[in-house]
A and B are shown apart, each in its own frame.
Chain A
Amino acid sequence: MTRTLLIIVLVLLLGGAARAERLIVSVSNHRVTVTPNYSGEELVLFGSVERDATTPADRTAYDLVVTVMGPRADMVTRRKERTFGIWINTDYRQFLQVPSYLALFANRPFDAITSPEIARRQQIGINNVLLTQRVGGDYADVVPNDAFRSAFIRLRTQRGLYREDAGAVTFLTPTLFRTGIPLPAEVPIGTYEVEIKLFANGAFIGKTETAFEIVKVGFEQFVATTARQNGLIYGLATAAMALMTGWMASIVFRKD
């Protein structure tokens, strides 16, 4: 709460004359339910850039970068190498608290929106998003062309969980914009944070945040939750199910 207030105060202070635009956004659905036959969906994010009296009159062209981050998780990337003629997992890197879903959208190529320096600071573009690795005892992000980092991004992208699209944001009018947020079938459940950053003439002039939630419902989710939270009961139930099936089979197919 205090942090939010502080941020508001800071925004007000820093805002002033130069940062007079306000961003107003909304997603089409704040709670996505994933049912057993769910096969992916697309959310829509709408928004508008509100100008006021203090906005410089010559500032009319805006650029937007939308970042969607799913719930964070620790992940391990392993690399296979040929040892004694067979392929074995040898080296690995641990990625700490990285987003399980990551999408970056913009209205034009990231390098055209702003300078590399600002892009790095604002984490614009998938290569600039912080993915902390544990390298030995240190915690650090590495250069974008690191083998493990690029393999990690490539594998996540193949599954539709990481994506980057510099043409996804469309301006309907000079101030009204929309973008689609595609969610694949195997979307991780949890809270998704959406961050919308506004740029004008290469300068970062403000941002706003929103969020949506993905929940799984139905029998499958019930099974998955039980398996994780009540392992013993789940195990007993599965064992009982096995015995029941075996017993029923011996009755149905009884020959004597």
Chain B
Amino acid sequence: MQLYLPIADLPVNVFLVLAMGAAVGFVSGMFGIGGGFLMTPLLIFIGITPAVAVASVASHIAASSFSGALSYWRRRAIDPALASVLLCGGVTGTTLGVWTFTQLRALGQLDLMIALSYVVLLSTVGSLMFSEGLRALMRTRRGALPSRRTHNWIHGLPLKMRFKRSKIYLSVIPVVVVGIMIGFIGAIMGIGGGFILVPIMIYLLRVPTSTVIGTSMVLTLVTMLFATMLHAVTNHLVDAVLALILMVGGVTGAQFGARAGQKIRGEQLRLLLGLLILSVGVRFAIELVIRPEDLFTIRELGVSG
């Protein structure tokens, strides 16, 4: 069934987009991530311009993280204090990100920047995660206990605050900085940033695993809602029809993914996720290096008269 996407200005097959939403939803449910870093490239791949893809995926991630956040809230696995401090940074970062997005688009370098950010970020995070997963797997094979430092330089920073539910005593500075960073890259790349945020919170901020995913989902939810609003107001690029199809596919797929994820061991899961992230990064890198089919592109600056 063909459907015309009003903002993307493109007819697409509804079932194809639904299936894509479900597939990404499955993966995101399995790994407990938003899946934006997979969804945006897939949309670009089927011919939707990177700008529309980034803006529309934001609302799709908002939907999936809201359903996740609700269930974590019921299980009391969200730290409200930590979430609000993260959000202060997140909202600032998103605003900066959408502003940068608009500037890059005017300069004609947006597509390049999106691709470059994907290459750099995904290959870094992907290889880190992959090697970490590999090491963890070896350790369990050898039966050794993972070494764990209890404090690092971050815990020496001033402006400390007590986060009751997470049972940690931590400076707000790194928390806000992390929020800004995630908000910024999320707005530019059309990702929720969960796959970067969760490791940072665990390894750097030492947030306990009981509250880490729920709290990161709150940040994702709010920054993505905010990004949707800003993209809609400043760039008019959010395709609501596309977003709705993705959401329906995504939330359904996530349920099955979550069930599948419980059957796999943590280290293997991280290994798989690392591999997946890495391959998306490599895919973008190849695209940048090979000669494009057409060297020229046209962009309409708006019809007048």
- Residues on A facing B (Cβ under 8 Å): 36-37, 71-82, 85-89, 92, 94, 97, 100, 148, 151-152, 154-156, 185-186, 188, 190, 220-221, 223-224, 227-228, 231-232, 234-239, 241-243, 245-247, 249-250, 253-254, 256
Contact present for B251 and A245 (CB under 8 Å): yes
CB distance from A236 to the nearest CB of B (A): 7
B113 → chain A closest CB, angstroms:
10
B291 touches A87 (CB 8 A): yes
Once the chains are docked, how many angstroms separate the CA of A140 from the CA of B254?
Answer: 56
Does chain A have a CB within 8 A of B59?
yes
Q: Which 3 A-B pairs have the closest CB atoms?
A: A235-B232, A246-B66, A249-B251
Q: Is B28 an interface residue (CB 8 A)?
A: no
Bound CA–CA A37/B4 (angstroms): 7
By a CB distance below 8 angstroms, the chain B residues around A80 are 292, 295-297
Contact status B70-A239, CB under 8 Å: no
Sampled A-B contacts (7; CB under 8 Å): A71-B304, A72-B303, A220-B6, A227-B232, A245-B248, A247-B66, A249-B251
B291: chain A residues at CB < 8 Å are: 82, 87
Contacts of A85 in B (CB 8 A): 289
Would A249 and B296 be within 8 Å (CB), given that A223-B6, A231-B233 are in contact? no
| CB atoms of B67 and A155 under 8 A apart | no
- CB proximity of A247 to chain B, nearest CB, Å: 7
In Å, the complex CA distance between A89 and B188 comes to 18
**Residue from A151, A156, A188 with most neighbouring chain B CB atoms (10 Å):** A151
**Contact A239 B228, beta carbon cutoff 8 Å:** yes
- A223 contacts B228, C-beta separation under 8 Å: no
Which chain B residues border A78 with CB–CB below 8 Å? 108, 296-299
17 new A-B pairs (CB below 8 Å) besides A235-B231, A238-B238, A253-B67? A73-B304, A75-B301, A77-B297, A80-B297, A87-B295, A88-B109, A89-B297, A156-B298, A220-B6, A224-B7, A227-B6, A239-B59, A242-B66, A245-B247, A245-B251, A246-B251, A253-B255
**Interchain Cβ contacts within 8 Å, total number:** 185
The residue of chain B having its C-beta at the shortest distance from the C-beta of A150 within the complex is: B296
- Within 8 Å by CB of A223, from B7, B116, B252, B302, lies B7
Choose one: B63, B234, B244, B301; the contact of A243 (CB below 8 Å). Answer: B63
A74 touches B304 (CB 8 A): yes
B181 proximal to A (CB < 8 A): no
Cβ contacts under 8 Å, B254 to chain A: 249
* Residue in chain A with minimal CB distance to B255: A253
Task: Give the chain B neighbours of A73 by CB distance below 8 A.
Answer: 300-304
The smallest C-beta distance from A233 to any residue of chain B, in angstroms, reads 9
Say which residue of B2, B68, B300 sits within 8 Å of A37 (CB atoms). B2
Residues of B within 8 A of A148 (CB): 296
Q: In the complex the two chains form, what is the Cα distance from A224 to B303 in whole Å?
A: 14
Q: Which residue of B67, B241, B288 has the most chain A CB atoms within 10 A of its CB atom? A: B67
On chain A, the residues within 8 Å of B251 by CB distance are 245-246, 249, 253
| Contact (Cβ within 8 A) A76 B298 | yes
Given A239-B225, A243-B62, decide whether A155 and B236 contact each other with a Cβ distance below 8 A: no
Residue of B nearest to A236 (CB): B229
Q: A76-B108, A190-B303 are in contact. Are A224 and B6 (CB under 8 A)?
A: yes
- Contact among A88, A155, A256 for B112, CB-based, below 8 A: A88
Q: Which of A36, A78, A237, A246 has the most CB of B within 10 A?
A: A246
**In the complex, which residues 271-305 of chain B have their Cβ closer than 8 Å to any Cβ of chain A?**
288-289, 291-292, 294-305
Complex interface: chain B residues within 8 A of A243 (CB): 62-63, 66, 225
- Contacts A73-B304, A100-B303, A221-B6: A238 and B298 contacting too (C-beta < 8 A)? no
Which residue of A has the minimal Cβ distance to B2? A37
Do the beta carbons of A239 and B62 come within 8 Å of each other?
yes
Q: Across the interface, which residues of A come within 8 angstroms of B241, CB to CB?
A: 220, 223
Contacts of A242 in B (CB 8 A): 59-60, 62-63, 66, 224-225, 228, 243, 247
**A72-B303, A236-B229 are known contacts. Are A249 and B252 too (CB-CB below 8 A)?**
yes
Contact with A along B148-165 (1 / 0, CB 8 A): 000000000000000000
Q: Which residues of A contact B232 (CB under 8 A)?
A: 227, 231-232, 234-235, 238
